[in-house]
């Protein structure tokens, strides 16, 4: 197996640092790693894979060194500019920003759901939005079995999803300081406002969930609505997902479908107060599903509570899993 050169762009950020952690846990066939960030952190040192690495400033020539795969998480404008440059030099970019997700030339991938889409990449593969990824892990096996008709998403999203700035706003807000990242205090508060507001009254985060779900499941016909809320939790997103199916189901069979699906841990024992919680999901690459109950207000409906580490499964781990599959396909 050929050993590869792998770059991490945004290596000093919230997701970037978790890329490094997940890469240390995985055994990828890598010859050299290159770590990039902005001029602000160029020259700083990080311990990675038992060695000391120097952060380099990202520029137009960064990919001139035979880099095979680059994991990007440095924001949308960096991805917009540098992902095509990297791709033009023969590198495959796995991009965590929203810049390329809805481009029809770019596969949008959750490895448990649509790994085959990796094969038609033209140099950029998009990592979906964190809230979408965990929902897809839970909904794909149910769509296959019962055919989804409609979804209502309500999310309870952690501040780590807004990067270091979001984390600092909660930490400092709990000490009484004013917010810098969010428009209002997040400590002891809930903000029904993630990303910008759009002319239709939805936020961009809500529309990302709607559009990305349709693209990943390959089901443009599914009716979807979403309300996304930032809550004062440091890490791991929780979601209430209400789903209506075309086909009838037995609840016990539906639970078994979830139990047997890849990447899912069912935690549903209400008699003993067992259900997925953010504090337990943090640090794991799995998606936790519980509170599984029939929606008695419609014919074929179910309610789910879905929790995952938004920085791991929602970002870094999903991207590294994509890279792993990509390497598998390269060696086929
Ligand atoms: P830096 O630490 O040098 O600013 P977060 O989302 O947690 O705020 O992280 C954003 C990441 O994107 C950081 O690693 C940050 O690096 C990186 N970044 C921001 N602007 C640039 C840029 N112009 N070029 C390269 N990396 C950037």
pLDDT along the chain (332 residues), means of 10: 93 96 94 97 97 98 97 97 98 98 98 98 98 98 98 99 96 98 98 98 98 98 99 98 98 98 98 98 98 98 99 98 96 85
163 in contact with ligand 1, CB cutoff 6 A? yes
Q: What are phi and psi of 130, to 5 degrees?
A: -55, -45
Distance of alpha carbon 73 from alpha carbon 320, whole angstroms: 12
Q: pTM value?
A: 0.97
DSSP state string for 57-90: E--TTTTTTT--EEEE-S-HHHHHHHHHHHHHTT
Handedness of CA 115, 332, 26, 65 (dihedral sign): negative
Distance of alpha carbon 105 from alpha carbon 125, whole angstroms: 9
Cα of 27 to ligand 1 centre, how many Å? 26
pLDDT of residue 318: 98
Cα of 92 to ligand 1 centre, how many Å? 20
pLDDT of residue 275: 98
Q: At what angle do helices 14-25 and 163-173 cross, to 10 degrees?
A: 110
DSSP tag of 3: -
**Residue in 75, 158, 168 to alter for ligand 1 test, most ligand atoms within 8 A of Cβ:** 75
111 in contact with ligand 1, CB cutoff 6 A? no
Coil/strand/helix, residue 314: helix
Residues 6+ apart with CB under 8 A from 134: 237, 239, 287, 306, 307, 308, 310, 313, 314
pLDDT of residue 5: 97
168 in contact with ligand 1, CB cutoff 6 A? no
Between the alpha carbon of residue 283 and those of residues 3, 278, 286, the distances in Å are 28, 10, 9
Neighbours of 12 (CB within 10 A): 20
**Residue in 10, 71, 78, 95 to alter for ligand 1 test, most ligand atoms within 8 A of Cβ:** 10
Catalytic residue positions?
130, 237
Cα of 1 to ligand 1 centre, how many Å? 33
pLDDT of residue 331: 87
DSSP tag of 160: G
Q: Quickly tell me which residue has 């539906």 as its tokens.
A: 254
pLDDT of residue 27: 83
pLDDT of residue 301: 98
pLDDT of residue 332: 83
Q: Which tokens sit at 309?
A: 């580490």
Between the alpha carbon of residue 7 and those of residues 25, 83, 246, 320, the distances in Å are 16, 12, 44, 12
Neighbours of 250 (CB within 10 A): 8
pLDDT of residue 278: 98
Residue 108 CB-half CA count within 13 A? 24
Distance of alpha carbon 49 from alpha carbon 247, whole angstroms: 49
38 in contact with ligand 1, CB cutoff 6 A? yes
Contact 3, 29 (CB under 8 A): yes
Cα of 42 to ligand 1 centre, how many Å? 11
């Amino acid at each position: 197996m050929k050993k590869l050169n792998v770059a991490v762009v945004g290596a000093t950020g919230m997701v970037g640092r978790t890329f490094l952690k997940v890469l240390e846990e995985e055994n990828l066939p890598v010859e050299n790693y290159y770590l990039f960030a902005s001029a602000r952190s160029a020259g700083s040192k990080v311990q990675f894979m038992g060695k000391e690495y120097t952060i380099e400033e990202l520029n137009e020539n960064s990919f001139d060194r035979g880099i095979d795969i680059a994991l990007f998480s440095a924001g949308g404008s960096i991805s917009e500019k540098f992902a095509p440059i990297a791709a033009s030099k023969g590198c495959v970019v796995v991009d965590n920003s929203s810049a390329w997700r809805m481009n029809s030339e770019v596969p949008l991938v959750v490895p448990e759901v649509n790994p085959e889409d990796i094969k038609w990449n033209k140099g950029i593969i998009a990592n979906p939005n964190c809230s979408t990824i965990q929902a897809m892990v839970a909904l794909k096996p149910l769509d296959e079995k019962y055919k989804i008709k409609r979804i209502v998403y309500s999310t309870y999203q952690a501040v780590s999803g807004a990067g270091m700035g979001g984390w600092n706003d909660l930490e400092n807000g709990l000490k009484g300081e004013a917010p810098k990242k969010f428009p209002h205090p997040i400590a002891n508060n809930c903000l029904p406002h993630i990303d910008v507001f759009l002319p239709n009254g939805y936020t961009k985060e809500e529309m990302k969930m709607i559009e990305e779900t349709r693209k990943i499941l390959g089901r443009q016909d599914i009716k979807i609505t979403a309300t996304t809320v930032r809550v004062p939790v440091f890490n791991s997103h929780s979601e209430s997902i209400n789903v209506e199916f075309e086909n009838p189901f037995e609840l016990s069979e539906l639970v078994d479908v979830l139990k047997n699906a890849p990447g899912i841990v069912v935690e549903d024992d209400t008699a003993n107060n067992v259900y997925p919680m953010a504090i337990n999901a943090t640090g794991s690459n799995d998606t936790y599903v519980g509170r599984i109950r029939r929606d008695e207000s419609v014919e074929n409906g179910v309610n789910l509570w879905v929790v995952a580490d938004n920085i791991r499964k929602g970002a870094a781990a999903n991207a590294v899993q994509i890279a792993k599959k990509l390497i598998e396909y390269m060696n086929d």
